């Protein structure tokens, strides 16, 4: 926002090199004190009367063309000719016109001359005093919301026959308002005139389309499907099983008097991790004395040890060597771990 970084801005128009951007109208009510930033655009142009619930999930277009009409609501209060039409263009279907609905354009005559045109005043969105902008645009729905422009046609026929705003044919939606288009560096307007702005740069040329693409939140009719084909459990081959031995460990290491696996201070516990289904675990002192032999025969990758010897006595503090042996495809494979232990002092506080 407002699109100054997009490529080929100078090629928007065939009759000139002017680039056009959309913004919120200039007003002292802009939330940040300037009307050129995105926060002010959201606060002012996404109207409280309708706003996002009426805008999303649809996309929108403002199409500059001849023979369009809108309502000069604040000055004459009746229908007038405008150089654009407003369309709700469906949900992510920019090239399918079968679901487009034409809305009613309402505008505020900022300079009071009775014509939708450019204002000889600079917009905040750019530095300098050479970014003049248009009268304000509001968007209202017709009563008839069927695809196409039958609702718009009914409104126009009513407004023309009554010489009015055709208000009896308006719908209840007002999703957007206070929109303006400003010409990026189209000419200095610091003198309050458009003398420095070329005639072809005072309004987007017929055929110009401004598209609003919105986010698409989930809707009640949305259906999502997924498949688990190819995602089932797969047996490891021999090489993968051997490589997995590198992941075997013991936690915590070192053991420093406690672990999160223990349920009381009288219970010691560590766990071997990433273990194969079958394995023999042998724990040795640094002197080579066998302290304990454990047999694992389960599908769990975790295996507990209570830090006790074969005689069910607690082991002492110190360093230990752990030898893990398993069979892979008929071949013996081994893993060696170093394990440090600092035993806790048991303090009984209940007798």
CATH topology of domain 238-342: Immunoglobulin-like (2.60.40)
165-190 confidence digits (pLDDT tens): 999 999 999 999 999 999 999 999 99
Which residues have CB under 8 Å from 335's CB, separation 6+? 245, 246, 248, 323, 324, 326
Domain layout of the chain by residue ranges: 9-212, 238-342
Over range 51-70, report the average pLDDT. 96
Which residues have CB under 8 Å from 84's CB, separation 6+? 62, 63, 64, 65, 68, 105, 137, 204
Over range 279-299, report the average pLDDT. 96
pLDDT at 163: 95
Residue 35 is classified by DSSP as: S
85-110 confidence digits (pLDDT tens): 999 999 999 999 999 999 999 999 99
Over range 140-165, report the average pLDDT. 97
| 26-35, 174-183, 216-225: the lowest-pLDDT one | 26-35
Given a contact cutoff of 8 angstroms between Cβ atoms, the answer to whether 300 and 343 are in contact is no
Reply yes or no on whether the pLDDT at 277 is more than 60. Answer: yes
Percent of the chain at pLDDT > 70 equals 95
Would strands 255-256 and 331-342 be described as parallel, antiparallel, or unpaired? Answer: parallel
């Amino acid at each position: 926002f407002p699109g100054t970084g997009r490529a080929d801005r100078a090629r928007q128009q065939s009759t000139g090199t002017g680039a056009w951007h959309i913004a919120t109208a200039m007003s002292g009510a802009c939330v940040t004190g300037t009307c050129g930033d995105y926060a002010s655009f959201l606060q002012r142009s996404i109207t409280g009367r309708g706003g996002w619930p009426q805008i999303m999930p649809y996309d929108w277009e403002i199409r500059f063309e001849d023979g369009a009409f809108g309502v000069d609501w604040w000055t004459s209060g009746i229908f007038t000719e405008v150089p654009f039409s407003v369309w709700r263009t469906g949900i992510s279907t920019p090239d399918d016109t079968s679901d487009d609905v034409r809305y009613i354009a309402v505008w505020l005559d900022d300079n009071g001359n009775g014509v939708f045109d450019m204002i000889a005043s600079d917009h905040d969105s750019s530095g300098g005093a050479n970014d003049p902008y248009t009268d304000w645009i509001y968007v209202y729905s017709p009563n008839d919301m069927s695809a196409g422009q039958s609702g718009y046609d009914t409104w126009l026929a009513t407004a023309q026959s009554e010489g009015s705003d055709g208000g009896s044919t308006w719908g209840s939606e007002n999703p957007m308002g206070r929109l303006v288009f400003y010409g990026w560096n189209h000419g200095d307007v610091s003198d309050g005139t458009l003398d420095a702005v070329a005639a072809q740069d005072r309004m987007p040329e017929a055929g110009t389309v401004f598209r609003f693409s919105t986010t698409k939140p989930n809707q009640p009719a949305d259906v999502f499907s997924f498949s688990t084909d190819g995602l089932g459990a797969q047996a490891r081959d021999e090489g993968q099983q051997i490589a997995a031995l590198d992941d075997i460990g013991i936690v915590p290491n070192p053991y420093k008097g406690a672990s999160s696996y223990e349920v009381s201070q009288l219970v010691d516990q560590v766990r071997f991790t990433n273990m194969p289904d079958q394995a023999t675990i042998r724990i040795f002192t640094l002197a080579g004395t066998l302290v304990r032999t454990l047999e694992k025969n389960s599908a769990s990758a975790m295996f507990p040890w209570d830090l006790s010897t074969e005689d069910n006595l607690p082991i002492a503090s110190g360093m230990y060597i752990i030898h893990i042996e398993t069979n892979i495809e008929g071949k013996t494979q081994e893993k060696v771990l170093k394990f440090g232990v600092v035993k806790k002092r048991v303090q009984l506080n209940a007798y």
